[in-house]
Structure 1
Amino acid sequence: MEECGLDIPKLQKVENIDGKWALFFEYREGKTLEEMMKVDPQNLDKYMEDFVDLQVKVHSKKAPMLSNIKDKLRRQINSIKELDASQRYELLTRLESMPRHDKLCHGDFNPSNIIVGKNGKMSIVDWAHATIGNASADAAMSYLLFALKDQKAADLYLKMFCRKSDIAVQYVQQWLPIVAAAQLTKDNELEKDFLMQWIDVMDYQ
Structure 2
Amino acid sequence: MLLDNKIGQGKTAEIFDIGDNRVVKLFYKTIPLQWAEHEWQINRTLCQEGFPVAKVYDLMEHEGRKGIIYERIVGEPLLQRVVRNPWKVRRIGRMMAELHLQIHRKTDCDLPLIKDDLSQRILHTDLLDDDIKGLLLDFLRELPSESVLCHGDFHPDNIILSKDKVFIIDWMTATKGSSCADVARTALLLNLAELPADIPAILKVLMKFMRSQIRHAYMKRYIQLTDCSITDIQQWEAPVAAARLVERLSISERQAIIRLIERKRSYMEKITASKS
Alignment partners' CA distance in 2, 1:141 and 1:76: 14
Q: Which residue of 2 aligns with 1:204?
A: 267
- Which residues of 2 match residues 1-80 of structure 1 at below 5 A? 1-80=46-125
Contact 2:95–2:218 (CA under 8 A) maintained in structure 1 = no
Q: Give CA-to-partner distance per residue, 1:155-188, whole Å, 9 cap, x none.
A: 3322222221221101110100111011111031
From 108, 113, 129, give the equivalent of 1:84. Answer: 129
1:167 and 2:228 correspond:
yes
1:154 and 2:215 correspond:
yes
Q: 1:46 to 1:153 in 2, by over 3 A?
A: closer
Q: Which residue of 2 aligns with 1:128?
A: 172
Residue 203 (structure 1) shift: 4.3
Q: Which residue of 1 aligns with 2:184?
A: 140
* SS of corresponding position for 1:28: coil
Alignment partners' CA distance in 2, 1:87 and 1:192: 15
- Alignment gaps of 5+ in structure 1: none
Q: Name the aligned partner's letter for residue 186 of structure 1.
A: E
Q: Name the aligned partner's letter for residue 223 of structure 2.
A: C
1:186 and 2:247 correspond:
yes
Alignment partners' CA distance in 2, 1:31 and 1:109: 16
Alignment partners' CA distance in 2, 1:204 and 1:27: 47
The TM-score, its normalising length taken from structure 2, stands at: 0.70
* Identity over aligned pairs, percent: 30
* SS of corresponding position for 2:235: helix
Alignment partners' CA distance in 2, 1:14 and 1:160: 38
Residue 64 (structure 1) shift: 4.4
Alignment partners' CA distance in 1, 2:156 and 2:267: 28
Mean Cα displacement is larger for which, 136-145 or 3-12?
A: 3-12
* SS of corresponding position for 2:232: helix
CA RMSD of aligned residues (A): 1.6
1:195 and 2:257 correspond:
yes
Larger Rg: 2
Residue 94 (structure 1) shift: 1.0
Q: Name the aligned partner's letter for residue 195 of structure 1.
A: I
Alignment partners' CA distance in 2, 1:112 and 1:67: 24
Contact 2:92–2:214 (CA under 8 A) maintained in structure 1 = no
Mean Cα displacement is larger for which, 75-84 or 34-43?
A: 34-43
Residue 36 (structure 1) shift: 0.7
Contact 1:58–1:104 (CA under 8 A) maintained in structure 2 = yes
Q: Give CA-to-partner distance per residue, 1:9-60, whole Å, 9 cap, x none.
A: 1112102334443222211011111111121122222222221111101002
Q: Which 4+ runs in 1 deviate beyond 6 A?
A: none
